[in-house]
Amino acid sequence: MPGWASKPCIMGIDEAGRGPVLGPMVYGCALCALSEKSRLATLQFADSKTLTEAKREELFESIKADETIGWYVDVIDPRELSAKMLKRNRESLNVISYDSAMGLIRRGLDQGYNLSEVYVDTVGDAEKFQARLSQNFPGINFTVAKKADSLFPVVSAASIVAKVTRDRALKDWVMSEVGKDIGRSFGSSHPGGLPSMEQQRQSECNGVIRVTKDCVDLSAAVHMLPCCVGHNGTAPVSTFFTPRASGETNDGLQLQEASFRGRGLQGLSLELPAEHVGYVLGKSSTIKSQDSVIDEWKTQAEFHNLTYWNHDSKPSSSDPLQRCFDWLHLSNIIHGSISEEEVTSMMEQQTGESRGLKRKSSSLLP
């Protein structure tokens, strides 16, 4: 244990690979004495997603060599994630994340770190997460916030620790699939995350999106047309595209009608699924590094509903876009947490059904 561990300390916590397609989810933490807090801000730590792989590796090595900084990680195997999320009394990804973060804090206390302040990059509701941490660890001052990895240097350091640990695990990842050469050209869409420019172009994951506050709300003005528009710029759309109610319904849905380039269209307005927001993007700059060129996109407007249009058929609940929205709803159900009351209710229901089957079986016996 470092000598400064007995003094008041701060800890930052962040993750890499949340809900991973490949490899583990890694929760990492960084610690230092409270007296080093201002010096930490001078060490060029930043959100790992904004750094190239080479810069992340450089900063990680500097963290390891710095005797005033402590760190450790919790590497969660994807098989463990799947087992917990698919078992009968399933755990959501949020619950797994909460448990990992609390495990890091508990480990620090068990090792003798005198934690006085802990900063966490949130998952889910920040206020609820902070209240839960404060309840479990009274005496520690918690700050749980979105984008904490770009707000607090100690969380930025934790972000680098988690990301580099995961990157190194992926480099040595052993594919269980056989019979096909899967290859090793994979990476994330973060700067420096893709192995090459060619891989970046092929994957189309070549951008960084900056979400700005107070975007213009274009709800009820966003349309998805079944055609390609080659024009890139402003146009007086309202002078030649005028949707109106058709008076018809399909699957109980009120339809609209319009025409575009002389061809009739039938449309339907849809609300975006709960907790989802649509954005209109504009390219604001280009980030260049030794290995890659990344386009930076900025949100220019947002929308909470849209109207999609069909050429030759009436919009219906079987259309691909509506089915995509259904999957988003199902995803929220699958990954959402289940309360104790819901579990008890389901168990009582299953018990009642089981008793009903037994009574029915008994009545069939001679």
- Mean pLDDT, range 91-116, rounded to an integer: 94
- The CATH code that applies to domain 216-335 is 2.40.128.680
Confirm whether residue 127 is marked as ligand binding: no
Tell me if 121 is assigned to a ligand binding site.
yes
| pLDDT tens string 274-310 | 778 888 888 888 777 666 677 888 888 999 999 999 9
- Position 53 scores a pLDDT of 87
14 among annotated binding-site residues: yes
Does residue 361 have a pLDDT over 80?
no
pLDDT of residue 4: 95
Q: In what order do the strands lie in the sheet with 263-271?
A: 223-224, 305-310, 263-271, 253-260, 244-250
Q: Where is average pLDDT lowest: 20-34, 194-208, 244-258, 276-290?
A: 194-208
Percent of the chain with pLDDT over 70: 81
Q: Give me the pLDDT at residue 198, please.
A: 42
Question: In this model, does residue 311 exceed pLDDT 80?
Answer: yes
Question: By C-alpha distance, which of 168, 154, 147, 148 is closest to 56?
Answer: 168
Give 130's pLDDT tier (boundaries 50, 70, 90): very high
In the predicted model, is pLDDT for residue 52 greater than 80? Answer: yes
Work out the average pLDDT over 55-64.
94
Question: What local confidence, expressed as pLDDT, does residue 29 receive?
Answer: 97
Closest CA to 112 of 2, 12, 37: 2
Q: Quick one: pLDDT band at residue 204, thresholds 50, 70, 90?
A: very low
Domain boundaries of the chain, sorted by first residue: 3-171, 216-335
pLDDT on residue 23: 86
Per-residue pLDDT of 152-189, as tens digits, reads 999 999 999 999 999 999 887 776 655 555 555 555 54
Q: Does domain 3-171 have CATH number 3.30.420.10?
A: yes
CA dist., res. 187 & res. 166, Å (int): 11
- pLDDT, residue 193, reads 54
Helix, strand, or coil (residue 233)? coil
Q: Which of the four pLDDT bands, split at 50, 70 and 90, describes residue 25?
A: very high
pLDDT in tens, 62-78: 999 999 999 999 999 98
Q: What is the mean pLDDT of residues 311-335?
A: 80
Res 87: pLDDT:
81
CA-based R_g, the chain, Å: 26
Residue 250: pLDDT over 90: no
